[in-house]
A and B are shown apart, each in its own frame.
Chain A
Amino acid sequence: MGEIVFAAGVPHAPSLVGLFERAPAGVQEVVRASYDALAAGLRAARPDVIIIFANDHITNNRISAYPDFLIGTGDTHRGPFEWFKEWIGCRDWQARGDRKVADALFRGMTRRGIRMFAADDLKFDDNISVPVVMTDLDASGIPIVPVMQNCTVPPLPEQERCYEVGRALRDIIEREMPAGLRVALIGSGGLSHEPGGSRYYLIDEKFDRWFLDLCCAGDHERVLKELTFDRMEASGSGGTCELLAWVVIMGAIGKCRGKSFGYAGHVDFRCGFGAVIWDLASAKLAA
């Protein structure tokens, strides 16, 4: 029986790296505090593997044959993919994969009626690259299993389905992964943003703070009822739906209180920023 030992949600906007130095001090402090807490929390949890759900951004497949979930089964993962390097402005990274965990995930989801796909050699943009370099995850030596999620190409798995995927993820970890395996979960994406839209510079601070508050309160009923596709689209078309990666993690961990490390709505980032680390012990208390 495996165990979830850490869970967090965090944005991955490329400008968090490329434009970080030019951001106001207060914005830098929020980003740094959030990612430092993520890095420290991950290491303190001593995970054997980190499973990261993140928007694929139409990076690995054509729009005409687009999977909702694509598991990275490779022994090694590298990024960023060539075209994204100058856009993100981050260093190259390489992290170990975990084929056994990835295969167990693929097998387990399939047997639970959840269609996923798998591939060894995935292309990564900011979705995985930003969390990796901002936490020096590659230097930690902890293997990662990336799961590229369709948060952009409708029809896509919406909040209820993503929560079900999360519940299945927990079941697989607890029933089908090796005894004693310590698993960290990260939902990478959000907050409000509209990449490629006429409101490219939109940041919906009211929405972002509302969402972060729900995450911190562990109010999953409201998340499932109110975090609809249309609600996210209103706060940034084609970008804000990345929060569905967080919903997968919420489904896996159950109702937990969470901690946020501040909020930054910096227009040059073209994305609202705020992260949450969930207190897994609070779920055990509630149970």
Chain B
Amino acid sequence: MRIKDYDPTLASHDLIQDLKWDKSLRQRFQQHEASVLDLYRLRPEERRAIEARDFGALYDMGLHPYLGGQLSRLIYGNDAGKGAILAVNKLVESLKGR
């Protein structure tokens, strides 16, 4: 997806911003993901895509790719020494698998 095709109304954008900004929400997301997803007005297909780690579907819905990369790091790890490589590879794998 090109960045100019993002959908600014997608609730996932706010979810990702809040996870970046709020450590306690982030911890809750890691332990009880569903309870955090309940806080946002996610479309049913949007929520299913997050739960399935289907970044391709999220991008098709209009998730901004920069925040998509950050969502992958929020899920798969953010470690600098490893270059967040797992998160990068999982993301690319999902996007290229479509």
* B67 contacts A86, C-beta separation under 8 Å: no
* A270 contacts B80, C-beta separation under 8 Å: no
Interface size for B (C-beta < 8 A) is 33
* Chain B positions 39-71 with a Cβ under 8 Å from a chain A Cβ: 64-70
Contact code string B61-98 (vs A, CB < 8 Å = 1, else 0): 00011111110110000111101100010011001100
Main secondary structure of the interface of B (DSSP, over half): helix
The answer for the CA separation of A82 and B22 in the assembled complex, in Å, is 9
* A196 contacts B68, C-beta separation under 8 Å: yes
- Shortest distance between the CB of A64 and any CB in chain B (Å): 5
Main secondary structure of the interface of A (DSSP, over half): loop
Known: A19-B83, A238-B66. A196 touches B91 (CB 8 A): yes
Taking a contact as CB atoms closer than 8 A, the residue among A64, A154, A195, A200 that contacts B13 in the complex is: A64
- Cβ of A17 < 8 Å from any Cβ of B? yes
- Cβ of A201 < 8 Å from any Cβ of B? yes
The answer for the CA separation of A151 and B3 in the assembled complex, in Å, is 11
Contact code string B16-58 (vs A, CB < 8 Å = 1, else 0): 0100110100100000000000000000000000000000000
* A238 contacts B20, C-beta separation under 8 Å: no
Taking a contact as CB atoms closer than 8 A, the residue among B23, B65, B96 that contacts A238 in the complex is: B65
* Chain A positions 234-282 with a Cβ under 8 Å from a chain B Cβ: 237-238, 268, 270
* B80 contacts A153, C-beta separation under 8 Å: no
| Given contact pairs A64-B14, A197-B65, a sample of 16 additional A-B residue pairs in the complex whose CB atoms are under 8 Å apart | A15-B80, A17-B80, A58-B67, A62-B17, A63-B13, A63-B67, A83-B20, A87-B78, A87-B79, A153-B3, A153-B64, A154-B4, A194-B65, A196-B72, A233-B4, A237-B65
